[in-house]
Amino acid sequence: MNALALARAIDDVATADPERLGYGYADTQHPWRHRPAIAHARDAFHELLRAVAARGLRGTFVQVGGRAGMQRALALLGTRVVRVGGTASEAGDEPARLPWIPGDPCDPAVAAAVRAAAPSCDLVLLDGDSTYAARRAEHALYAPLVRPGGLVAIADLSQACPEATQPFDVDRFVADLERDVLAPRGVRCRRFGGAHAIWCYVQGDHSVPSPPMPEGLVLAPAPTHAGTARGFSIHAVDGGFVAVPGEDAVLDPRALARNEHAVVLRAATGEAAHEAVAAWTECAPLLAAAREHLAAGRIAEAEGLAAAAAERRPALRAVLLASLAAAPHCKELLLALGTLTLFRGAARLGAAYLRRALDQDLLDRVLLPCLGNAYQFLVRDADAARRLLEEARRATRRHRLAVVCRERLRGHVLWQYPQLLEEVRGVLQVGAGSGEEVAAFDLLGIEERAFLEPQPQAFAALQRRCAARAGRDVLLPVAAGDRPGERVLHVPGDPQHASFLPLREGAPRTPLRVPVHTLDELVAQGRFDPTRYNLLFVDTEGTELEVLRGAREVLHHVDLVCVAVLFRPIYEGAPLPQDIQAFLRTAGGDGFALRAIEPGDDPARGDAVFRRLRRRHRA
């Protein structure tokens, strides 16, 4: 598996099951919704797995802490991945290949169970608590399991999410490990990533001991469990108390910083924390019911429920404000505070709180009509209600495009950027081949389409794929270039790689004379209307720059250009990617900027996406 195939396989794991495993990486999360499948930065985690692959490590791996998504990603290379601690194991995993050992990784009994399950391994990834003491204990317990030649990896999120009282604990531990233990033995420690870092070193003939605890080091105090109340666990942390759903005795400070808890209630004392939990559990259902009534247009019923909540717990607003200061992105707090405020003489302020909550998910089917009615009937701002509806429509299309691209369209760079497709209303494809992208355009709901393909067999297949649209597509059996005329097309056994340019090396090709037009000439002849297409798709096996030079007027109507590029000199006279970039930089009036470029399954070929520098406003 080459580096590109490995990266795509890891990305597939990171996006495979958002509901159970989470989605994406730590550096692709919104501050209000932190639930990645792989709780590391994408580049750092990919670099680690590339290092594992480069050393040919294929045996047992041990993952200390972390999520099940990471375990599945590690299983792309390891034959068996033992996960210790971390989040609960999801149903459906292969227990023999992906076993999970619950408990505190620093507990000697848990470590003994791991040693029994994996007496030796090729990789240990230490990813537990971000404290000096915990990381040192993990290193002492699990690093000796790695056989000579294997890798010991140490995840460092302490710089990305430092604890307020003692930041950068893991970084301090790695610095001590390097200075006092690794360097004297001639062992080099590599760092992948930035603030979300992963350090690793190669195990020598003998395992590396953990450094001694530094004299005078003040360890970061862990949150203290202070009891449970009504399904919440209460913890003393940072000079105050917080209550979060669940009855876990351990609170990870990183989870608070990342907003991983559905509700966070903050109080100054333990007694006040119990009162906050009581106020929340009694009033949150009333306020949720009030939003449902408001969404249905039953304003009086909604106002009555909000008033009942305020009367039952007069201190509720103060509780919500204090908690929101500690967790400013908590959606449930925003919803409750916004609902309560709407009916207390500050409708616009209440709507602002609800809008902050809606910004986290514009597709919320209850909150969207609720806020729309709040603007319409309580704030008395019809313009705000109309703007909200338009934003919701755009969000709906954006969401549909993202789902289609993620679930149905893989392997092309353009499908990896659904946000670029949001305003595509028509596509002009030059070098359409047999119509391999027609189904993708169908799924994306792109109605206006024009296809150019000069190779007769490929054109016939293209016609069959477009037959269901009853002639609504423009199909032209011609080639495009920078001047009109006729030209010899060299057709190989695989017709999708037919080209006007001779191969530098390779099997002989069948010559075929085909008509060539510039795109601007075809427009002048009335063969298609350029105003209907704002995506130009060009794949002509080495003559892409010629096509663009013959489309100077067409490019004035285009917002997005997707061009096939060659990373190796396959054809005589083919342009380099930077030649295409230089031309598009000033083309079409405003010019186009490179948005993405990536190799395909064949590392010699790839695709580049360019976007207009200045977006145009359309009537």
Tokens coding 248: 């876990």
Sort residue 406 into left (φ over 0), alpha (ψ -120 to 50) or beta.
alpha
- Whether the per-residue pLDDT at 207 is higher than 90: the answer is no
Summarised one tens digit per residue, pLDDT across range 225-252 is 999 999 999 999 888 999 999 988 888 8
81-109 pLDDT, tens digit each: 999 987 776 655 678 899 999 988 999 99
% residues pLDDT > 90 (the chain):
68
Sign, CA torsion 372/376/380/381: positive
Answer whether residue 343 shows pLDDT above 80. Answer: yes
The predicted pLDDT at position 619 comes to: 42
What does each C-alpha distance from 384 to 344, 373, 619 come to in angstroms?
20, 10, 21
Picking from 551, 429, 432, the residue whose alpha carbon sits closest to that of residue 498 is 432
Closest CA to 78 of 6, 142, 132, 4: 6
CA–CA distance, 394 with 184 (Å, rounded to integer): 59
Q: Could you tell me the pTM of the whole model?
A: 0.77
The two structure tokens encoding residue 301: 């019923």
Q: What is the arithmetic mean of pLDDT over 587-607? A: 88
Sequence-distant (≥ 6) Cβ neighbours of residue 286 within 8 angstroms: 305, 306, 308, 309, 312
Q: What is the DSSP letter of 181?
A: I
Question: Does position 35 have pLDDT exceeding 50, yes or no?
Answer: yes
Per-residue model confidence (pLDDT) at position 167: 67
Q: How many beta carbons lie within 10 A of that of residue 331, not counting itself?
A: 21
* Residue 513's pLDDT band (cuts 50, 70, 90): very high
The full DSSP string for 510-561 is EEEEEEEE-HHHHHHTTS--GGG--EEEE--TT-HHHHHHTTTTGGGG-SEE
CA 362 to mean position of chain CA atoms: 18
The span from the CA of 585 to the CA of 421, in Å, is 20
Report how far residue 65's alpha carbon sits from residue 255's, in angstroms, rounded to the nearest whole number.
14
Instruction: Report how far residue 121's alpha carbon sits from residue 143's, in angstroms, rounded to the nearest whole number.
Output: 10
* Average pLDDT, integer, range 412-430: 91
The string of pLDDT tens digits covering residues 112-167 is: 999 999 999 999 999 988 888 889 999 999 999 999 999 999 999 877 766 665 66
Tell me what the mean pLDDT of segment 216-222 comes to. 72
pLDDT number for residue 482: 93
pLDDT at 594 over 60: yes
Q: How many CB atoms lie within 10 A of CB 524?
A: 11
- Amino acid 92: pLDDT: 52
pLDDT tens-place string over residues 298-331: 999 999 999 999 999 999 999 999 999 989 999 9
